[in-house]
């Protein structure tokens, strides 16, 4: 599994329009809908599910300026993800209290929990590297972000 | 300064979704309440029980056995609390 298996080029938002958590979640789910990776009719339900989980089961803003909001949905063929960048930063009620600049939003099929863990593992393996986080945070075009993902994929030794 | 106590416990992951994001946050939250250091092993991988990132990289799927090792004066209480959490399936059973 590679980052670009999860994130299509048209699911990268180099500058998020939204400035609050719920808005960012909606914006990124909408991007997945526009890319036809999830059904348009499912958008509202997915947004609600992610927002509710952020609020009631704890933030996915685990620190270092990154958040990974996610949900599992029925009837999806494969895991899909969108990346959004906010230069101003968004309040995700993060564990370290810092604003979030990089959002990895992940939607997984409900019947593939093991694949979901593998996808999270992959994403975290990269996010753990400061250089990767720094690049994502600084790059201001979709193309540049795509290139960083591609470069990260090529250097990764998949276990 | 208490005595150096090392306690370990092997526990299968009982919930269907495995050790995913929220269970990990619960685990880390409990581990941080103790002075004991916590290491979690899953197959040939190893994680600091206080680091959400490292814990996610364990990829501990449903049915996988994890070995939790606590080391420190309050290791026994720490392992009881953590084992209780894992065995309860993180409230997802």
**Any chain B CB within 8 A of the CB of A121?**
yes
Q: Is domain A3-155 annotated with CATH 3.40.50.360? A: no
CA distance A43 to chain B (A): 22
d(CA A133, CA A123): 11
Query: Phi-psi category of B69—alpha, beta or left, where left has phi over 0 and alpha has psi -120 to 50?
Result: beta
- Helices and strands in chain A: count of H runs, count of E runs: 6, 6
Domain ranges of chain B: 6-91
Contacts of A60 in chain B (CB under 8 A): 21
Closest by alpha carbon to B68, among B91, B87, B90? B87
Mutate to test the interface with B, among A55, A61, A105, A120 (most CBs of B within 10 A): A120
CA distances from B61 to A91, A158, B31, B65 (A): 31, 18, 20, 9
Architecture of B6-91 per CATH?
2-Layer Sandwich (3.30)
What is the residue-level pLDDT of chain A in tens, covering all 159 positions? 999 999 999 999 999 999 999 999 999 999 999 999 999 999 999 999 999 999 988 889 988 899 999 999 998 999 999 999 999 999 999 888 999 999 999 999 999 999 999 999 899 889 888 899 999 999 999 999 999 999 999 985 443
**Any chain B CB within 8 A of the CB of A110?**
no
């Amino acid at each position: 599994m590679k980052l670009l298996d999860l994130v299509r080029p048209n699911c990268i938002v180099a500058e998020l329009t939204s400035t609050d958590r719920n808005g960012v979640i909606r914006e990124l789910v909408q991007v997945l809908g526009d890319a036809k990776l999830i059904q348009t009719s499912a958008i509202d339900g997915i947004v609600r599910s992610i927002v509710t989980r952020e609020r009631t089961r704890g933030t996915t803003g685990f620190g270092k300026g990154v958040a990974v909001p996610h949900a599992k949905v029925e009837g999806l063929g494969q895991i899909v993800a969108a990346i959004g960048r906010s230069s101003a930063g968004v309040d995700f009620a993060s564990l370290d209290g810092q604003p979030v600049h990089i959002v990895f939003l992940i939607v997984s099929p409900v019947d593939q929990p093991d694949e979901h863990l593998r996808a999270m593992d992959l994403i975290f393996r990269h996010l753990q590297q400061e250089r990767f986080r720094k690049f994502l945070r600084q790059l201001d075009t979709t193309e540049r972000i795509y290139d960083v993902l591609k470069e990260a994929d090529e250097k990764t030794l998949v276990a | 300064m208490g005595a150096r106590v090392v306690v370990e416990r092997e526990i299968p992951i009982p919930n269907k979704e495995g050790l995913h994001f929220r269970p990990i946050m619960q685990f880390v939250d409990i581990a941080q309440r103790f002075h004991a250091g916590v290491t979690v092993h899953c197959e040939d991988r190893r994680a600091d029980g206080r680091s959400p990132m490292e814990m996610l990289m364990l990829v501990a799927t449903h049915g996988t056995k994890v070995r939790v090792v606590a080391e420190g004066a309050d290791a026994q209480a720490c392992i009881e609390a953590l084992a209780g959490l894992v065995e309860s399936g993180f409230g997802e059973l």
